[in-house]
Structure 1
């Protein structure tokens, strides 16, 4: 005769929880049991109904053998979500609210009629009689409204109590799974059983606070602090109190077998026969010995035979395909109702990262300088794609997003507008003139444009690098030419020159495909040998070519970039000038 041991999981604490991102969590529980000599049945009830029966794993300490593990699914929920009593209360509340609406409408009509009589003072006697009636009616309506409000409040309170009872019953049904462990003990004594299982309804996602600070000390570099947190949601039906919490990026749903490629053959199309009956399953699907064939009275058995009480541990390899974060201390994550968006936040790490600041402005579109931060992940923690809140000098700036970043990799994030950089984008000046032409050349209309910009750094410390971008038009028709005249000596885009134009300021054609100040991007362009600049030629280049065709086969849209280093309180004037040369009498228009 076996010794039966009944355990209610709700009376026993959870030891550890590993939460996955893919709507799963692994739970570990430990139970102390008193075994008798021979066969013992340890029945653990009150387990979550969302338990994955295929994930159950049992280990133990003691001189015994785990003979069998039986999973019993929760009973089917036959109780209606709403009872006749709650429906009756809902109807009562609806009727009371309808009566209240009628009385409120009567009160409004009475007020409206009263206002109309006030404007007509011809019959004082009738007005006096009405106000006597008005007072009685208004008093009666107000009394009825107060009574209805009390009745509605009482009915709604009663409804909430009934719904709470239903919710309690629903929570009980969410913990209807049961696991029975058959243990063969050689002698009487205490033993410890450890139970692992995976549940659905739990997940985590990363959250970040990126806090940047620019110091006024010229010798001190800007600092960036990253607050790395995990947002955990769980509606498994059981509370996780005082648990050792681990967050994992692995997915328990993915198999470990390497996929194979099926044969890829081509040939004449063939007609697929149509079957009128049901298609038979393969013998592998119909074969005996499977889990379904061994199901008995709703219980699915998992046979685990061993010569000793120890069951081999699962081996977890970390670092190759996933990352695991162990949360310091013990955590408390209560279960929420299904569909709830309530989340609990835990701190993974707070790390100081290496950072480089850069300012970018496109004054043609907006006369503001945007501060961007190039951050290198110098920590040991891989950063998982997730939203971030950006703070600048302890002031909230914006919402952003951090991509997947491995240790020692770099990412960029915007820190918003820096009001300390003042930019004035002056009105565009235009001068039109004609060229006489010669014996071998035709007449042209030439339009000259000059765009001036004034940039000032009002900080007490230097700003570097500051990228100012502007553009000249790009011709899409060989009959029209665009000649850059300032910055001088910039040359054609393919020359990739950097020309000094002022103290601490250089001009260049903007590099397409490379981030501002990204040396790696420049080198990549050099390696491929592909031009990354616009259909533009310098004034000298066009005049030397003697050709009517513009430069073709390039991709950038004529963007000129000034790379500036501005000391505190200093400013600089920048000039962009160009000519548009068109055949005489053929005006140009802006294209798409």
Structure 2
């Protein structure tokens, strides 16, 4: 009898353990998101009633592409976290968004209308064929009265005219339906990535000595989220400071919507490798593979201010809207429009552009084949449960004496936090938005202003008439590096008008940040070759070519201007070739580059002249490009 009681006690104990370890489904809500340049850290909060002992908690509705190694669970000291795991539940798919349902219904409606309209066209075409093939009037033995012939011709003419008009109207109707259908298809393409995705689950095993309600925070990283910076740069006039609005363009396709979350924008990039580089011995020797260096001779030099543009399509030739287009190694980027078109400005050291979109394989294109790059993205067939391990990254012209050109010098440096609070971390900068923010998992880019700066600037014009006879107004901003800017596209506004796009190239500048504010047609620049001072003559075994140019700058504005003009003379790379600078109107000459620079102050309505003369001597019988 005692043995039976012992067994019964053991069974009861095991029953309690099994009951205690039964899985408990837990609802949670995303309340915080930190978006990185690539990826985002999600914070979910759950309030969970726990019994004493061991419990297994299952958080459902998680994004399917969670980076498993990044999952962290925080709870009160009274609750011990025993284990954390992640799994995919293929039986529970995310609900198809209502927007997709409506678009599917609209697509079916438009397709039906197009089919109906084409059927009507076929009927009219058939009637037209019948009229054309049945023109015989009367019999073979009896002629046709004039009145009958006239009535028949009137009928044929009127009916054929009606048919032609109906066909034209039908063609316009079909074209209208097709345009609407193209818009619907483009929107569906943008949202296709969230259709039919499985649901992720985070399973947490916890232990507690007494019954309690635990407040749990679950953090994890998702890759399919990003942000890129852009700027609005505004100048009222050349006497006002420059206003720079720092903006974040955020998008995500993680598989879960962020509704009214506390959003933080971070300059960190967890997708970059965080291991510090280690220099190794460099061994030099003949026929030694370690002594070789790879040199790419086909790389095209790209200067700031250029841009690349093109179209992104799928493997069937259909445009893909919402594709992320980023200059490799930078934060400069944009997204394709509804027709798959894009244009993105380039930094001075740009080498390649990366195209990425959820559900497709990313493509990298080098910038050595011109300014237009069209690409086709192929579908990504990678399994959804594949886990990628990532590491967290660690990173780390003074004109102040020229008072005549510091028009904004009386302005104080100001920073106005519009919708975000700036926090400077050890290795990155964060902007915490003050108001709750919502971002759907649809890949659409949502822009938000973060911080606005008002900075004193030096305004001056810049021109290289040898390349382009236009004067560009520039604003030179001192001590820009204290504002934690990242390189990005900038929209320019001057005197209350939008004047175009430029690039804030923060990685390739010195103490002064120069922002181009566009062309000014009221500053006329002309570069003319002076034939009377140009000549070609032979001296012994050499020939000497003398060239002369005159540069005129006229100020048609109502205010005096300051302008920097640049030109150049050739540089010899052969001892048999000599270059002599004959006249330069007191320009600053750089012997290493051959560049000549003039800084001119020009009063309103006045014209300034610059003369440049040089001569090149080289052996006879050789050809040389000297202009």
Q: TM-score, normalised by structure 2?
A: 0.58
2:261 equivalent in structure 1: 243
Determine whether 1:17 maps to 2:33.
Answer: yes
Deviations 1:145-190 (A, max 9, x none): 9999999999xx9xx99xx999999858435111222222222232
Q: Which SS does the other structure have where 1:176 is aligned? A: strand
Distance 1:88 1:256 in 2: 50
Deviation at 1:30, TM superposition (A): 0.9
Q: Quick one: distance in 1 between partners of 2:449 and 2:473?
A: 28
- Bigger CA drift: 183-192 or 125-134? 125-134
| Correspondences of 1:365-514 after superposition (within 5 Å) | 365-378=467-480, 380-405=482-507, 409-425=511-527, 428-430=530-532, 451-464=549-562, 466-471=563-568, 484-487=581-584, 507-511=586-590
Cα distance change of structure 1 residues 135 and 476 upon mapping to structure 2, 3 Å threshold: same
| Secondary structure at 2:254 match in 1 | coil
1:261 Cα shift?
7.2
C-alpha contact 1:97 1:152 (8 A) present in aligned 2 = no
**Out of 214, 219, 235, which is 1:196 matched to?**
219
Aligned twin of 1:565 = 601
Gaps of 5+ in 2: 1-18, 97-103, 138-143, 289-383, 387-393, 397-423
Kindly state the Cα deviation for residue 365 of structure 1 after the two structures are TM-superposed. Answer: 4.4
Partner of 1:498 in structure 2? Answer: none
Assess if the C-alpha contact under 8 Å between 2:465 and 2:527 holds in 1. Answer: yes
State how far apart, in whole Å, the 2-side matches of 1:238 and 1:370 are.
Answer: 47
- Measured in 1, the distance between the counterparts of 2:536 and 2:46 equals 96
List aligned pairs for 1:319-330, cutoff 5 A: 319-330=425-436
Instruction: Report the Cα distance in structure 2 between the residues aligned to 1:148 and 1:361, rounded to whole angstroms.
Output: 53
Asked if residue 176 in structure 1 is aligned to residue 196 in structure 2, the reply is: no
* Residue 229 of structure 1: aligned partner: 247
CA distance in 2, matches of 1:104, 1:229: 57
Cα distance in 2, alignment partners of residues 479 and 364 from structure 1: 26
Report SS of the residue matched to 2:435: coil
Larger Rg: 1
TM-score under structure 1 normalisation? 0.61
Flag structure 1 segments of 5+ consecutive residues without an equivalent.
Answer: 216-220, 270-297, 301-314, 488-500, 502-506, 512-530, 533-554
Question: 2:236 — aligned with what?
Answer: 213
Quick check: 1:430–1:448 contact (8 Å CA) kept in 2?
no
Distance 1:126 1:200, change over 3 A: farther
Change (3 A) 1:98 1:509: same
1:103 aligns with 2:139: no
- Cα deviation for residue 36 of structure 1 reads 1.9
Give the aligned partner of residue 360 of structure 1. 462
**Which residue matches 2:49?**
34
Residues 121 and 170, structure 2, Cα contact 8 Å, conserved in 1 = no
Q: Conserved in 1, the CA contact under 8 Å of 2:117 and 2:170?
A: no
Counterpart CA distance in 1 for 2:34 and 2:580 is 64
Query: Alpha-carbon deviation of 1:392?
Result: 1.9
> What is the CA–CA distance in structure 2 between the aligned matches of 1:268 and 1:480, rounded to whole Å?
36
**Aligned position for 1:576:** 612
Task: Specify whether residues 326 and 372 from structure 1 end up closer, same or farther in structure 2 by C-alpha distance, changes over 3 A only.
Answer: same
SS of equivalent residue, structure 2 residue 456: strand
Q: Distance in 2 between matches of 1:423 and 1:316?
A: 45
Task: Note the C-alpha offset of 1:561.
Answer: 3.4
Q: Do the aligned residues in 1 keep the contact of 2:233 with 2:245 (CA within 8 Å)?
A: yes
User: RMSD value over aligned CA atoms?
Assistant: 5.6
Structure 2 Cα separation of the partners of residues 65 and 225 of structure 1? 52
